[in-house]
């Protein structure tokens, strides 16, 4: 054993004389990572991506990206003798005639759903803790773009097998492309190499799916991780943790062991699900034929919000300049997702402009302490959620005996009402938590022990909170909203850009509205002092006569 | 999507599956008796019995002479097949007006249904109940049935025959409980929002192929494992956001807690 260690050490030493391998490694392996379960969400996405790469390579061995017509003669009886494209036939072959093929297909597809869902949950963590703030804005943009690129990649994969469901999906996307004013039709011809559907689409999509997009994703993932490494990981507030230090475990061995173990958990769960639960039963959908369609034609969940917007949007169309302008498709499927993505990517910059906060942040916010940000996030999720649910309106209608038409109206109205309601209730909830934190700091925790005073009144005993908890609560930073600028300065000169500055100050006031200020050290000191004083005072007083117990005690 | 809806979704899938399996068995048993009932020449006794049942159970809505009323359409000329379909699936007698007559427990015995059918058939010519050989699928092509099914039926009943929503709360029901005779009758008579597939637009051989395909769907083999109700990507999405992400979050929390 020790011989091996010595040998390895010597080899590294020799290597180090030529390249700074060992010293570089040693430094980086010692790099400290803070620890929290929510920091593993990104790992789920990373591991799903690796699983996608591995299984995808296996699929490429057997998949034939060709729209040539063939007649199926494989082992799935209900389709024997049916004409179809070679793509669909080979995907059936993978499912029924390739050893382990169906399992690999299902792993590939379940991993795709995991990949997208995990990226989203990971993003929620980043957002609600404010981890996107300076200096990590660029990594936020990379992450957000990866969700968008992953969405396109997933759609491309879903379309490759050329079954009835995916064909309907491609048809809808063709319609979306066509709806783009002026260039739509040209773009469609460009993408499909002529009329829809043509025979070029699957081969093109294949290159896109197995080469171009995975390449872009791989590069983005790499850059994303390098930046995490470079910026160092953020950490939650706690005892001894500041904006200037990083408290955690060394990358090696603790973090690597944990992460490695977690990879196998993610892999295991994905394989287990894929072995037990069907996904995308392409054989049951049949081959794509343009005049066929099945009830419940839906995209994978991550595209559901576009479908939901499309289903809810009123059917506006206009005719002018010799063109049909399909607002009913263009607005919900191009403009709306475009705005949503823009808002997502621009958020860090918008927030720092509104708050005027340009400092670096390595210590995370507790979501309650950034109440408006938290509420905006909850509102955005609600908006997205309403669209996703509407994308499934026919399934919901059938399953719960509801009317599709009523559900559509519910969405059309709900999309304007539900998100603001979610904003308000989240804000109130955060404020409640802020107030409770203040109470905890000033007066301690309600112990649940009730004391009956001699004169008959009941009071609850408050016990001081632990220092750890104090440190967490004290991490709250209160930023003053930007002041509304005066119209003129002392010399009577009009303030330049007054309107813009006023808007910014108003937004800033909105962002920090109702903030419950963190008590100052003096206030805490005074509160403790007061409590003791009152307590002593009270005892003596109570001995004197059955006077009122001081009410400050439970304040 | 809430977790309750998920549970209900999944439960629906299971129930449908089980129901499909159970009723296929019962369905086969039923085929022979309904088919025998389609002997065209009905006896006077049978007609009287049918008339009697009609007056008691159906005339309130369909009128004393089946001429129709504000509560139900005329049944003159709808034929025995329509009556057999409506009554043997429990749709008729209708309990209360709704978007659509739902399937319920069947009220009448097979004998009573054939008497009713014979009575209504005697009022005017209409499609008769398909015979056992009409619904025989021995010569039918399974794959052809699949193509026809996807062309003519899947847009309402979904690719796996699990049903789907139509406008205004109407729906195409799941076919997992339908007997071959009922499938044939449904195509022949086009109940409510379903189009009629008469023998001109869809010859009997094609109907038989479709029936063979639906029977194949009812056997519910799922090569990929649990089918999640065969509703498509929606239930898959619900599954990943509940069971899938749920399991991995639990694992993350567990590992996170371990190191502390
Ligand atoms: C983030 C990355 C990826 C995502 C989200 C993704 C997603 C998908 C999806 C949803 C499908 C449909 C599967 C099905 O049939 O049910 C698919 C099919 C496919 N993917 Fe991927 N994929 C990714 C990466 C890759 C990579 C890297 C490769 C190859 C190197 C690959 C190769 C394939 C092939 C050949 C198919 C068609 C085979 C078939 O459908 O049976 N994928 N992909």
Residue A483 forms part of a structural domain: no
Question: Out of A241-255, A306-320, A340-354, B138-152, which region has the weakest mean confidence (pLDDT)?
Answer: A241-255
Q: Which domain holds residue A184?
A: 31-337
Task: Report pLDDT digits (tens) over A197-222.
Answer: 889 999 999 999 999 999 999 999 99
> Residue A198 contacts by C-beta under 8 Å, 6 or more apart in sequence?
A67, A192
- Note whether B201 and B166 are same-domain residues: yes
Question: What is the Cβ-side half-sphere exposure of residue B244, based on CA atoms within 13 angstroms?
Answer: 30
* pLDDT of amino acid B13: 53
Mean pLDDT, residues A364-390? 96
- Note whether B147 and B214 are same-domain residues: yes
CA–CA distance, B239 with A476 (Å, rounded to integer)? 38
Contact at 8 Å (CB) between A436 and A517? no
Residue B21 forms part of a structural domain: no
- Note whether A275 and A377 are same-domain residues: no
Prior bond of A38 cis (ω within 30°): no
Which CATH number does the domain housing residue B180 bear?
Answer: 1.10.760.10
Question: What is the Cβ-side half-sphere exposure of residue A532, based on CA atoms within 13 angstroms?
Answer: 6
Using pLDDT thresholds of 50, 70 and 90, give the confidence band for residue A2: low
Element (H, E) at A36: none
Please indicate whether, in this complex, the C-beta atoms of A395 and B159 are within 8 angstroms of each other: no
Residue B161 forms part of a structural domain: yes
Q: Which of B158, B249, B255 sits opposite A294 (nearest CB)?
A: B158
Among B9, B12, B238, B252, most A C-beta atoms within 10 A, so best to mutate, is B252
* pLDDT of amino acid A215: 97
Prior bond of A459 cis (ω within 30°): no
CA–CA distance, A322 with A305 (Å, rounded to integer)? 32
Contact at 8 Å (CB) between B75 and B120? yes
Residue A24 forms part of a structural domain: no
Contact at 8 Å (CB) between A505 and A354? no
Among B1, B158, B159, most A C-beta atoms within 10 A, so best to mutate, is B159
The ipTM value here is: 0.88
Nearest to A363 by CA among A217, A485, A248: A248
Residue B182 forms part of a structural domain: yes
Q: How many helices (H) and strands (E) does chain B have?
A: 11, 2
Please indicate whether, in this complex, the C-beta atoms of A301 and B163 are within 8 angstroms of each other: no
CA–CA distance, A355 with B90 (Å, rounded to integer)? 66
* pLDDT of amino acid A258: 85
Please indicate whether, in this complex, the C-beta atoms of B154 and A292 are within 8 angstroms of each other: yes
Residue A535 forms part of a structural domain: yes
* pLDDT of amino acid A546: 40
Residue whose token pair is 């804005």 = A137
CA–CA distance, A443 with B197 (Å, rounded to integer)? 78
Nearest to A401 by CA among B170, B97, B103, B13: B170
**Ligand 1 mutation pick, A164, A209, A285, A287, max ligand atoms within 8 A of CB:** A209
> Residue A533 contacts by C-beta under 8 Å, 6 or more apart in sequence?
none
- Note whether A327 and A371 are same-domain residues: no
* pLDDT of amino acid A137: 95
> Residue A190 contacts by C-beta under 8 Å, 6 or more apart in sequence?
none
Element (H, E) at A340: helix A336-355
Using pLDDT thresholds of 50, 70 and 90, give the confidence band for residue B29: very low
Mean pLDDT, residues A120-138? 96
Index of the ligand 1 atom closest to the CA of residue A214: 27
* pLDDT of amino acid A52: 98
CA–CA distance, A440 with A446 (Å, rounded to integer)? 8
* pLDDT of amino acid B33: 37
Residue A265 forms part of a structural domain: yes
- Note whether A394 and A530 are same-domain residues: yes
The domain boundary, picked from B122, B156, B185, lies at B122
| Greater pLDDT, A13 or B232 | B232
Task: Report pLDDT digits (tens) over A243-297.
Answer: 888 888 787 788 888 888 999 999 999 999 999 999 999 999 999 998 899 998 9
Residue A283 forms part of a structural domain: yes
Residue A115 forms part of a structural domain: yes
Roughly what angle, to the nearest 10 degrees, separates helices A137-159 and A164-179? 120
Residue B172 forms part of a structural domain: yes
* pLDDT of amino acid B38: 41
- Note whether A234 and A196 are same-domain residues: yes
Residue nearest to atom 42 of ligand 1 (CA): A56
- Note whether B213 and B166 are same-domain residues: yes
Using pLDDT thresholds of 50, 70 and 90, give the confidence band for residue A551: very low
Using pLDDT thresholds of 50, 70 and 90, give the confidence band for residue A495: confident
CA of A55 to the centre of ligand 1 (A): 8
Domain count, chain A: 2
Contact at 8 Å (CB) between A196 and A318? no
Residue B31 has pLDDT above 60, yes or no: no
Q: Which of B167, B224, B233 sits opposite A106 (nearest CB)?
A: B224
Q: Which of A72-76, A459-463, B7-11 has the highest mean pLDDT?
A: A72-76
**CA torsion, ordered A365, A366, A372, A373, to nearest 10 deg:** 50
Q: Give the number of other Cβ atoms within 10 Å of residue A353's Cβ.
A: 15
Mean pLDDT, residues A42-63? 97
- Note whether A388 and A433 are same-domain residues: yes
Question: Out of A162-171, A405-414, A500-509, which region has the weakest mean confidence (pLDDT)?
Answer: A500-509
Residue whose token pair is 């309106």 = A393
Task: Report pLDDT digits (tens) over B76-99.
Answer: 999 999 999 999 999 999 988 888
Contact at 8 Å (CB) between B181 and B135? yes
* pLDDT of amino acid B40: 52
Mean pLDDT, residues B118-126? 92
Please indicate whether, in this complex, the C-beta atoms of A398 and B163 are within 8 angstroms of each other: yes
Mean pLDDT, residues A394-414? 93
- Note whether B117 and B151 are same-domain residues: no
- Note whether B166 and B195 are same-domain residues: yes
Contact at 8 Å (CB) between B165 and A398? yes
* pLDDT of amino acid A267: 97
Nearest to A305 by CA among A344, A272, A279: A344
Residue B249 has pLDDT above 90, yes or no: yes
Task: Report pLDDT digits (tens) over B179-229.
Answer: 999 999 999 999 999 999 999 999 999 999 999 999 999 986 789 999 998
Ligand 1-lining residues (CB < 6 angstroms): A 49, 52-53, 56-57, 59-60, 63, 91, 94, 105, 108-109, 112, 115, 150, 153-154, 157-158, 160-161, 209-210, 214, 217, 280, 282
Classified as helix, coil or strand, A32 is strand
Residue A24 has pLDDT above 80, yes or no: no
> Residue B69 contacts by C-beta under 8 Å, 6 or more apart in sequence?
B61, B62, B63
Task: Report pLDDT digits (tens) over A444-476.
Answer: 888 888 888 888 888 888 888 888 888 888 888
Element (H, E) at B165: strand B164-165
Q: Does A296 touch chain B (CB under 8 A)?
A: yes
pTM for the whole structure:
0.87
- Note whether A298 and A374 are same-domain residues: no
Q: What is the mean pLDDT of chain A?
A: 89
Element (H, E) at A285: helix A282-285
* pLDDT of amino acid A94: 97
Mean pLDDT, residues A24-39? 78
Q: Give the helix ranges, DSSP H, for A475-516.
A: 498-511
Residue B86 forms part of a structural domain: yes
- Note whether B73 and B118 are same-domain residues: yes
* pLDDT of amino acid A532: 55
CA–CA distance, A541 with A534 (Å, rounded to integer)? 10
Contact at 8 Å (CB) between B214 and B175? yes
Contact at 8 Å (CB) between A131 and A373? no
Q: Give the helix ranges, DSSP H, for B37-172.
A: 44-57, 59-62, 79-88, 110-123, 142-152, 154-157
Domain count, chain B: 2
Q: Give the helix ranges, DSSP H, for A63-163.
A: 86-96, 101-129, 137-159
**Ligand 1 mutation pick, A50, A108, A158, max ligand atoms within 8 A of CB:** A108
- Note whether A447 and A539 are same-domain residues: yes
Contact at 8 Å (CB) between B98 and B85? no
CA of B228 to the centre of ligand 1 (A): 21
**Using the 8-state DSSP alphabet, how is residue A79 labeled?**
G
Residue A30 has pLDDT above 70, yes or no: yes
| Greater pLDDT, A105 or A296 | A105
Residue A9 has pLDDT above 80, yes or no: no
The domain boundary, picked from B56, B91, B122, lies at B122
| Greater pLDDT, A198 or A162 | A162
CA–CA distance, B44 with B35 (Å, rounded to integer)? 20
* pLDDT of amino acid A26: 72
- Note whether A235 and A376 are same-domain residues: no
- Complete DSSP assignment for A399-429: HHT--HHHHHHHHHHHHHHHHHHHHHHHHHH
Residue B7 forms part of a structural domain: no
Q: Does A258 touch chain B (CB under 8 A)?
A: yes
Element (H, E) at A483: none
Which CATH number does the domain housing residue A86 bear?
Answer: 1.20.810.10
CA–CA distance, A309 with A306 (Å, rounded to integer)? 5
Q: Which domain holds residue B63?
A: 44-122
| Greater pLDDT, A465 or B112 | B112
- Note whether A304 and A450 are same-domain residues: no
Residue A103 has pLDDT above 50, yes or no: yes
- Note whether A110 and A240 are same-domain residues: yes
CA–CA distance, B241 with A121 (Å, rounded to integer)? 10
Residue whose token pair is 């509801």 = A402
CA–CA distance, A168 with A518 (Å, rounded to integer)? 56
Token pair in block for residue B193: 């929002």
| Greater pLDDT, A441 or B197 | B197
CA of A56 to the centre of ligand 1 (A): 5
| Greater pLDDT, A21 or B57 | B57
CA of A206 to the centre of ligand 1 (A): 9
């Amino acid at each position: 054993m020790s011989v091996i260690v010595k040998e390895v050490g010597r080899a590294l030493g020799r290597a180090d004389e030529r390249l700074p391998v060992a010293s570089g490694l040693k430094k980086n392996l010692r790099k400290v990572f803070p620890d929290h379960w929510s920091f593993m969400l990104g790992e789920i996405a990373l591991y799903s991506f690796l699983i996608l790469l591995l299984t995808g390579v296996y699929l490429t061995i057997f998949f034939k990206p060709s729209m040539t017509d063939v007649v199926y003669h494989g082992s799935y009886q209900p389709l024997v003798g049916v004409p179809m494209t070679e793509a669909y036939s080979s995907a059936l072959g993978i499912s029924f005639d390739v050893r382990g093929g169906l399992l690999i297909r299902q792993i590939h597809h379940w991993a795709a759903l995991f990949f997208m869902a995990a990226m989203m949950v990971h993003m929620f963590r980043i957002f609600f803790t404010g981890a996107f703030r300076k200096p990590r804005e660029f990594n936020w943009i990379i992450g957000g773009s990866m969700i968008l690129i992953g969405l396109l990649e997933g759609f491309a994969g879903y379309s490759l097998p050329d079954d009835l469901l995916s064909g309907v999906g491609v048809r809808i996307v063709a319609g979306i492309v066509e709806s783009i004013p002026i260039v739509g039709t040209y773009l469609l011809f460009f993408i499909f190499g002529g009329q829809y559907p043509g025979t070029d689409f699957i081969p093109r999509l294949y290159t896109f799916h197995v080469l171009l997009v995975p390449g872009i994703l791989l590069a983005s993932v790499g850059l994303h991780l390098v930046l995490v490494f470079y910026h160092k990981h953020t950490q939650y507030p706690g005892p001894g943790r500041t904006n200037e230090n990083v408290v955690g475990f060394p990358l090696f061995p603790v973090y690597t062991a944990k992460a490695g173990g977690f990879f196998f958990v993610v892999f295991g769960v994905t394989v287990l699900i894929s072995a037990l639960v069907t996904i995308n039963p392409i054989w049951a959908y049949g081959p794509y034929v343009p005049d066929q369609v099945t009830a419940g034609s839906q995209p994978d969940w991550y595209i559901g919000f576009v479908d939901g917007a499309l289903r809810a949007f009123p059917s506006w169309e206009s005719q002018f300049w010799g063109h049909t302008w399909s607002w009913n498709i263009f607005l919900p499927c191009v403009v709306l997702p475009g705005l949503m993505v823009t808002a997502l990517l621009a958020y860090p910059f918008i927030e720092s402009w509104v708050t005027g906060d340009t400092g670096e942040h390595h210590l995370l916010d507790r979501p309650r302490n950034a109440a408006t940000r938290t509420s905006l996030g909850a509102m955005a999720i609600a908006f997205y959620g309403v669209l996703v649910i509407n994308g499934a309106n026919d399934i919901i209608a059938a399953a719960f005996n509801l009317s599709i038409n009523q559900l559509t109206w519910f969405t059309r109205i709900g999309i304007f009402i539900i998100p603001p309601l979610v904003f308000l209730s989240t804000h109130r909830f955060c404020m409640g938590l802020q107030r409770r934190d203040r109470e905890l700091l000033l007066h301690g925790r309600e112990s649940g022990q009730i004391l009956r005073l001699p004169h008959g009144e009941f009071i609850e005993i408050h016990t001081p909170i632990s220092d750890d908890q104090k440190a967490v609560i004290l991490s709250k930073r209160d930023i003053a909203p930007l002041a509304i600028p005066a119209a003129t300065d002392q010399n009577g000169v009009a303030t330049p850009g007054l309107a813009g500055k006023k808007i910014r100050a108003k937004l800033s006031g909105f962002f920090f509205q109702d903030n419950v200020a963190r008590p100052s050290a003096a206030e805490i000191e005074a509160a403790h002092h007061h409590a003791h004083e009152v307590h002593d005072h009270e005892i003596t007083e109570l001995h004197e006569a059955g006077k009122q117990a001081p009410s400050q005690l439970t304040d | 999507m809430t977790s309750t809806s998920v549970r209900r979704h999944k439960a629906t899938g299971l129930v449908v599956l089980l129901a499909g399996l159970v009723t296929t068995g019962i369905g086969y048993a039923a085929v022979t008796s309904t088919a025998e009932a389609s002997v065209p020449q009905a006896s006077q006794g049978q007609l009287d019995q049918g008339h009697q049942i009609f007056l008691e159970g159906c005339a309130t809505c369909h009128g004393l002479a089946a001429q129709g009323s504000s509560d139900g359409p005329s049944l003159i000329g709808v034929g025995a097949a329509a009556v057999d379909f409506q009554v043997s699936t429990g749709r008729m007698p209708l309990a209360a007006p709704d978007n659509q007559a739902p399937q319920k427990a069947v009220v009448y015995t097979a004998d009573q249904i054939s008497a009713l059918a014979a009575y209504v058939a005697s009022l005017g010519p209409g499609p008769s109940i398909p015979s056992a050989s009409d619904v025989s699928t021995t010569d039918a092509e399974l794959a052809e049935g699949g193509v026809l099914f996807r062309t003519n039926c899947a847009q309402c009943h979904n690719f796996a025959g699990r049903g789907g929503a139509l406008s205004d709360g109407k729906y195409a029901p799941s076919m997992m409980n339908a007997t071959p005779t009922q499938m044939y009758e449904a195509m022949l008579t086009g109940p409510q929002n379903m189009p009629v597939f008469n023998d001109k637009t869809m010859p009997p051989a094609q109907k038989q192929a479709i029936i063979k395909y639906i029977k194949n769907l009812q056997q519910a083999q799922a090569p990929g494992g649990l089918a999640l109700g065969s509703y498509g990507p929606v239930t898959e999405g619900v599954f990943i956001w509940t069971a899938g992400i749920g399991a991995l979050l639990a694992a993350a929390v567990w590992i996170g807690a371990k190191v502390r």
